[in-house]
Amino acid sequence: MGQTTIPAVVRDAAARFGSAEALVDGGLRLGYDQLLERVQGVARAFAACGVQPGDRVAITLPNTHHWVLAALGALYAGATLVPVNTRFTAAETVDLLVRSRATALVVAADFLGTDRHAAIRATGTALPDLATVVRVALEQPHRPVPGTLGWEEFLELAGKVPLAEAEARADAVKPDDVSDILFTSGTSGRPKGVLSAHRQVVGVATAWAECGRVAAGDRYLVINPFFHSFGYKAGIVVGLLTGATIVPQAVFDLPKTLELIERERISVLPGAPTIFQSLLHEQHRADLSSLRLAVTGAAPVAASLVRRMRAELGFEIVLTAYGLTEAVVVTMCRPGDDAEVVSRTSGRATAGFEVDIHGSPGEIVVRGPNVMLGYLDDPEATAKAIDADGWLHTGDVGELDGAGNLTITGRLKDMYICGGFNVYPAEVESALTELAGVRDVAVVGVPDERLGEVGKAFVVGSGLTGDAVVAFCRERLANYKTPRFVEFVDALPRNASGKVLKRLLTEEKA
């Protein structure tokens, strides 16, 4: 393949795969040649809006063709992509826009009944850098809003900029240029912006595709959100590199998923284990014989589930993987691994990574060409995460077996995973300290049959109810971060240095 920038990959895909289907979203079907033309048009439209190379373009959209075109168009124009979690509240989104100094925003006008842009404006926060807002109407007809552009209005601006300018911008993008800033929560309680280079995005996507043996002719249903590295880098970019057809799904809906698998002859389907449990339960409702590759993780995967996925759903290959935003894909199982290896481990190092275990209790550290460039405007946090020898300290605890397979045994950080999304209790605790009546608070993850883990808040305070605590969080935090349970206690157990002993809370109280 050889291309090491995303604009070059888009061009190369058009040259190699031509009219083969690249993107299918409802009634829209684009070949790779047509995809290139659309991406060039979006790049020209961004240029017409004044977006300059190196500017940051934020996108807060669900998985639709608009996300794909906006993201690739921004990158083609030399801009840096800032994907925004669609589950974030307006306050969380504004924080990312301010810190990234985004000059353009492509936002869903009406996703899941909420006008995302109106909610951002309602915060009253000044966004002096934000010169362009493109509102994408997904559920209702486009309604003009002063100072913004509709999607079609935006695309029409392409005519103001010659194709040659877009091509010159694409040519100017270098492998080490920053391609994207993905925000990930940290134990400090505030999301950090992870900087990645074009060559790194291409590198990890290439490795993922090779492990899964993804090729032209595959049809890839992307349920993992595009705002997450899994959906964007192991989804969209994998399609471009291999010639697979990308079929986005905005929200996981089992009947719709079954329909898409049958109608579009889906062969590649990554997702959390709960998705495959659901498919097993309802498999009689659709023809699932086209399924070939599953990649799962983000929650424990039982060996029995792996066997059933192979035997009953027809998957030839079922893999698990381990990654984090700072490195994307670190380890993966390989085709041919037995069910116990897939269940017990996250596979072996990939994408040029070295994996090692440092210290006691055994922190997973990784090193290689695809470790992040650093955190946005935070050299102190960067230096803390990546040591002088180049090892990225993941904060996760694990073990390596003789074959190099990695098993995750715990987390140094308090992070837990709710429905496939990382939740950092420090962020939730920080929010709750602003609730009147809360004197002390600790949040832990507790097991949940459907979501894997959910939050439980232990609160020291007065004049409060559990419902009031949950309602306060819902106003300020994404739904998956909001605790499902609240318990009032007289005091939190702490050690001599004042650190909360969360292990005692989970053992004695949960």
Structural domains of the chain, ranges and CATH numbers in brackets: 32-196 (3.40.50.980), 252-411 (3.40.50.12780), 416-508 (3.30.300.30)
In the prediction, which pLDDT does 29 show? 98
* Structure confidence at residue 204 as a pLDDT band (50, 70, 90): very high
Mean pLDDT for the chain overall: 92
Give the β-pairing of 406-411 and 392-400: antiparallel
Residue 188's pLDDT band (cuts 50, 70, 90): very low
Give the pLDDT confidence score for residue 189 in this predicted structure: 60
Average pLDDT rounded to a whole number, residues 380-392: 97
Count CB atoms within 10 A of the CB of residue 88.
21
Residue 510 has pLDDT above 50, yes or no: no
- CB–CB of 383/392 below 8 Å? no
What does the pLDDT look like over 234-251, one tens digit per residue? 999 999 999 999 999 998
Cα 432 to Cα 443: distance, rounded to the nearest angstrom: 10
Query: What is the pLDDT at residue 300?
Result: 61
**Region for residue 298 given its phi and psi (left: phi exceeds 0; alpha: psi -120 to 50; beta: otherwise):** left
Q: Any idea of the CA torsion for 87, 91, 92, 94, to the nearest 10 degrees?
A: 110
pLDDT at 213 over 90: yes
What is the average pLDDT across 191-205?
A: 96
List the beta bridge partners of residue 246.
23, 220
Split at pLDDT 50, 70, 90, the class of 496 is: very low
pLDDT at 298: 60
Please tell me which of 208-222, 263-277, 358-372 the model is most confident about, judged by mean pLDDT: 208-222
- CA 478 to CA 87: how far, in whole Å? 5
What is the model's pLDDT at position 497? 45
Q: What is the pTM of this model?
A: 0.85
